[in-house]
Amino acid sequence: MAYPYTVTTGGLVSTIRQLRSAFPPQVNADTLKKWGIAPNNETYIVNVLRFLGIIDANDQRRDEAQKVFANHDDTAFEKAFAKLVRDAYAPLFELHGEGAWTLEKQRLITFFRSEDQTSAVVGKRQAATFQVLAALAGHGELPNQFGASRTSNARNQPTRASRARSKRNAAALHGTPVAATSGEQPDERPRGTISAGLTLRIEINLPVTDDQAVYDKIFKSIRDNLINE
C-alpha cells in the first residue's frame, strides 16, 4: 500500500476547510487551482482525498464523504472525519491502536518507510500528512501557521483568576476597592492605594565629529557604567 503525502500540508488543511464550506460534485487539480490552493502541488492533495475515500478514482464526490463534510458542528465533523482517517490507515491502527493518533513522528516515519520502502524524505512527508489529518480529526493540534485548534484556543482563553487580577489592577489604578472572588486571597494592600512604576530614560547628545574613537569611548563608558551595572 502506497501511503499518500503532501509537499505542503498547508494546502491539505486549506482543502479540508474549503470542502467543509462548499463540496462540489467533482474535486480535481483544476478545482484546487480555481480555489488557489496548493499551487503546483494539487495532485498531491487530490491523492490524499482519494486515499481517504472523500472522492473516487474519477475525482467524483462520494456520498458518504459528503455527509461527513455536511457536519457544521466541529465536534461532529471531527468524529466523522476520524473514521475516514482510521479506515484509510487501518494497518497503522491495527499495529498501534488508538495510540496511533498521537504517535511520535519518528515512529510514524519508521512505519511508513517499512510499509512502502520509501526514502527518508518521503517518509517524513507521509508522517507529517498523517499528523495533520489526525489534528483535523480532533487528535492533536495543527501547527501555528495553520491556525490554532479549538483545544489550543480554549487554553489561551483568560482564566477566571486572570480576569479577576486584571479587574483588581484596573480598580487599583483608579483607587476603587474590589471584593475578592471565591477561592482567591484578598488584596492585602490598603484600599485606595495606587500602584506606581518608575521609568528612567537617559538621553545622550553625541558630539559632531569625524573621529570614530570619540564615539567608541562614549559607548564603552555607557556599557561599563550603565548597562553592566
8 or 61: whose pLDDT is higher? 61
Q: What is the pLDDT of residue 149?
A: 43
Residue 157 reports pLDDT greater than 60: no
Sequence spans of domains, the chain:
9-154, 160-227
Residues 16-59 pLDDT 10s: 999 999 999 999 999 999 999 999 999 999 999 999 999 999 99
* Spatial CA neighbour of 9 closest among 111, 130, 140, 137: 130
- CA distances (Å), 82 to each of 37, 152, 171, in order? 23, 19, 48
CA dihedral sign, ordered 123, 125, 127, 130: negative
**Average pLDDT, whole number, for the chain?**
81
* Spatial CA neighbour of 111 closest among 135, 95, 97: 95
Residue 74 reports pLDDT greater than 60: yes
Mean pLDDT of 177-195: 52
Q: What is the pLDDT of residue 153?
A: 41
| Alpha helix (H) residue ranges in the chain | 9-21, 29-35, 42-52, 63-69, 74-88, 90-96, 105-116, 120-136, 150-156, 160-173, 212-222
Residue 79 reports pLDDT greater than 90: yes
User: What is the rounded distance in angstroms from the CA atom of residue 152 to the CA atom of residue 145?
Assistant: 13
User: What is the rounded distance in angstroms from the CA atom of residue 68 to the CA atom of residue 74?
Assistant: 11
Q: What is the pLDDT of residue 206?
A: 65
**What pTM does this model have?**
0.64
Mean pLDDT of 93-104: 97
Q: What is the pLDDT of residue 107?
A: 97
C-alpha cell at 210: 569625524
